[in-house]
Chain A
């Protein structure tokens, strides 16, 4: 990085002006980006805050209390938590297993296995055949339909493999010579050494599952099996199209469910941002 000091000497003025303008522009951009989110938070707390106000005049936790007291809102939250934890665990296990097997350069049938995984990225049956398949298997209304397929993505497997490749292969060989079975090597050596990779892929799966919407709409029929995303949408749409005047408390509740659904992410995000970015750049390098 070039080191450059802000200087107003002749000939450097244009540059200084650019740096100032750039800083101001980016600050403005961030403010504009954050306003819709900030506004939702303010509206969820302030019963009088509709319209332009960006700072709460009074604070009330009425909406949040309602969410926790109503079973119809509380249960979807549990479903979200349950599927997210389940899918992350299953997804991480499957992704690491697949990546570790593919890492074995000389395993008979390696090419076949890679093709088997890669093909899923190229071609799929589409929405309706997938729906009919789940129906035929009798898995409608079963949350495992959400949990099981969530993590097994080609992208994650490729990502994990590139991480694994950075572990020196002499470590595996040493373990093998010591009589470790591959399963044991996997548990005792590969997984502990790839914690950053696990964090990266795990976070992607977790956010993805937390944000899942369509599979619930397609495969879940029972109201008790819906996650919070579905609930948020239901609430927002309730009278959005009716065009009738909405009471302030309704608006508060709507804003509050939106806050609840993004809150867990916003809390952990600053601490785990590097894992997300790393995942993208590693994946990009490997193509």
Chain B
């Protein structure tokens, strides 16, 4: 068997008999051993919970044994105004966030691309990436202090101009504005990386040709740069579209009881139903509802992505 070892990796016949398969598997035995920790980790922390999805069809709280109820949890959800409110909020917050994030990132990437000084460019990039690495908990903390009606800087400026202090995070009308602004603050810079990379890949000859044809700088940006990164823009957009329902951490840490109406999303709804109220059945059902739609979105996104990338190569 040992003499077979080196050979079996080389010429692989199209069809193998059982014996040869076993030899192959034996040859790769170390690799299977190496895969084992990954296998177990995913099994325990990812595949085991999938089994728990069955509780979507059970009446289950910590104080009683799970009892099969069929689709009852779902009909409860679909009749619940709060669930639909959470659903609507998720879509609204996510889509606005997606579009704003996109526009600002592309815009900033184009501006950074205009910087010709290597040093200034590096400094700019370094600084605008920073907020991405600060956790949402800490971002919420920083801005709770920054926007505080008692000691926050923003309200100090407002009162200095004679205005009334605003409690930004506890007002239904302001909460969404703050939420979007914080998302822009945190992720715009980081979002530029992929576009800057795409812009760096644009053929310089295209710009030169455009310049010879008498294109102004703006026309070059408009007709060369932007079309060149449009595939990237669309790809990022589609991939993010698949994740619209995943909104959780950012909302959870910025939320408080006085703004539930405008801020409750499916993720936080699941948390409140499941962890706070300990209604495992209904919360698992709403989580499952979210997962199923997400799978659909990802499948569609994947399909679209393949199509666009294929066309991108041909065109």
A binds B: yes
Q: Which residues of A line the B interface, CB within 8 A?
A: 1-4, 15, 18-19, 22-23, 25-26, 29-30, 33-37, 39-40, 43, 50-52, 93-94, 97-98, 100-101, 104, 106-109, 113, 116-117, 120, 122-133, 137, 148-149, 152, 176-177, 181-183, 186, 207, 210-214, 218, 229-230, 232-233, 236-237, 240-241, 243, 245-246, 251, 254-255, 257-258, 261-262, 265-266, 269-270, 273, 276-277, 280-281, 284, 287
A277 adjacent to B189 (CB under 8 Å): no
From known contacts A123-B295, A129-B284, infer whether A113 and B138 are also in contact, taking CB-CB under 8 Å.
no
A236 contacts which chain B residues (CB < 8 A)?
Answer: 140-141, 144-145
- What is the minimal beta-carbon distance from A238 to any residue of chain B, in angstroms? 11
- What is the minimal beta-carbon distance from B136 to any residue of chain A, in angstroms? 7
B134 contacts which chain A residues (CB < 8 A)?
Answer: 211, 262, 265
Which chain B residue has the least Cβ–Cβ distance from A185?
Answer: B30
B residues 87-121 touching A (CB-CB < 8 Å): 108, 111-112, 114-116, 120
B116 adjacent to A3 (CB under 8 Å): yes
A34 adjacent to B34 (CB under 8 Å): no
A126 adjacent to B112 (CB under 8 Å): no
Could you say which of B124, B141, B309 contacts A232, with CB atoms under 8 Å apart? Answer: B141
B28 CB-CB contact with A under 8 Å: yes
Q: How far is the CA of A100 from the CA of B248 in the complex (A)?
A: 33
Could you name 17 residue pairs across A and B whose Cβ atoms are closer than 8 Å?
Answer: A1-B116, A4-B116, A19-B116, A25-B111, A29-B108, A39-B153, A97-B38, A124-B49, A126-B53, A126-B291, A128-B283, A149-B46, A176-B6, A213-B249, A240-B144, A258-B142, A273-B129
Which chain A residue has the least Cβ–Cβ distance from B288?
Answer: A126
From known contacts A122-B295, A126-B291, A129-B287, infer whether A52 and B156 are also in contact, taking CB-CB under 8 Å.
yes
B49 adjacent to A125 (CB under 8 Å): yes
B48 CB-CB contact with A under 8 Å: yes
The 4 closest A-B pairs by CB, nearest first: A129-B52, A126-B287, A125-B49, A211-B135
- What is the minimal beta-carbon distance from A203 to any residue of chain B, in angstroms? 9
Which chain A residue has the least Cβ–Cβ distance from B30?
Answer: A182
Q: How far is the CA of A52 from the CA of B145 in the complex (A)?
A: 12
From known contacts A33-B131, A284-B194, infer whether A258 and B138 are also in contact, taking CB-CB under 8 Å.
yes
B140 contacts which chain A residues (CB < 8 A)?
Answer: 233, 236
B32 contacts which chain A residues (CB < 8 A)?
Answer: 101
Could you say which of A30, A120, A240 contacts B46, with CB atoms under 8 Å apart? Answer: A120
B46 contacts which chain A residues (CB < 8 A)?
Answer: 120, 124-125, 149
A152 adjacent to B9 (CB under 8 Å): no
Q: How far is the CA of A68 from the CA of B283 in the complex (A)?
A: 40
- What is the minimal beta-carbon distance from B265 to any residue of chain A, in angstroms? 13
Other than the known A97-B37, A126-B291, what 20 A-B pairs have Cβ atoms closer than 8 Å?
A: A1-B116, A29-B128, A33-B185, A33-B189, A98-B35, A116-B39, A116-B42, A125-B287, A126-B290, A129-B52, A129-B55, A137-B48, A148-B45, A149-B41, A149-B46, A207-B133, A236-B145, A258-B142, A276-B133, A277-B193
B173 contacts which chain A residues (CB < 8 A)?
Answer: none
User: Which of B111, B140, B153, B280 is packed against the most chain A CB atoms within 10 Å?
Assistant: B153
A273 adjacent to B127 (CB under 8 Å): no
Cβ proximity bits B30-64 to A, threshold 8 Å, 1 near / 0 not: 11111101110110111011111101000000000
Per DSSP, are chain A's interface residues mostly helix, strand or loop, or mixed?
helix
From known contacts A108-B24, A108-B28, A240-B144, infer whether A23 and B41 are also in contact, taking CB-CB under 8 Å.
no
B141 adjacent to A281 (CB under 8 Å): no
Which chain B residue has the least Cβ–Cβ distance from A255?
Answer: B145
Q: How far is the CA of A225 from the CA of B123 in the complex (A)?
A: 38
B151 adjacent to A108 (CB under 8 Å): no
B126 CB-CB contact with A under 8 Å: yes
Q: How far is the CA of A36 from the CA of B184 in the complex (A)?
A: 14
- What is the minimal beta-carbon distance from B130 to any residue of chain A, in angstroms? 7
From known contacts A50-B156, A131-B274, A232-B138, infer whether A276 and B12 are also in contact, taking CB-CB under 8 Å.
no
A284 contacts which chain B residues (CB < 8 A)?
Answer: 194, 197
Q: How far is the CA of A3 from the CA of B267 in the complex (A)?
A: 50
B270 CB-CB contact with A under 8 Å: yes
- What is the minimal beta-carbon distance from A251 to any residue of chain B, in angstroms? 6
Q: How far is the CA of A19 from the CA of B120 in the complex (A)?
A: 12
B69 contacts which chain A residues (CB < 8 A)?
Answer: none
B207 CB-CB contact with A under 8 Å: yes
B193 adjacent to A128 (CB under 8 Å): no
A43 adjacent to B145 (CB under 8 Å): yes
Q: How far is the CA of A277 from the CA of B248 in the complex (A)?
A: 25
From known contacts A43-B145, A51-B151, A233-B141, infer whether A26 and B112 are also in contact, taking CB-CB under 8 Å.
yes
B157 contacts which chain A residues (CB < 8 A)?
Answer: 52
User: Which of A52, A113, A240 is packed against the most chain B CB atoms within 10 Å?
Assistant: A240
From known contacts A98-B35, A129-B284, infer whether A251 and B145 are also in contact, taking CB-CB under 8 Å.
yes
Cβ proximity bits B67-96 to A, threshold 8 Å, 1 near / 0 not: 000000000000000000000000000000
B237 CB-CB contact with A under 8 Å: no
B41 contacts which chain A residues (CB < 8 A)?
Answer: 94, 148-149, 152
B271 contacts which chain A residues (CB < 8 A)?
Answer: 127
B38 adjacent to A94 (CB under 8 Å): yes
B253 contacts which chain A residues (CB < 8 A)?
Answer: 213, 233
A148 contacts which chain B residues (CB < 8 A)?
Answer: 41, 44-45
A213 contacts which chain B residues (CB < 8 A)?
Answer: 135-137, 249, 253
Q: How far is the CA of A190 from the CA of B63 in the complex (A)?
A: 52
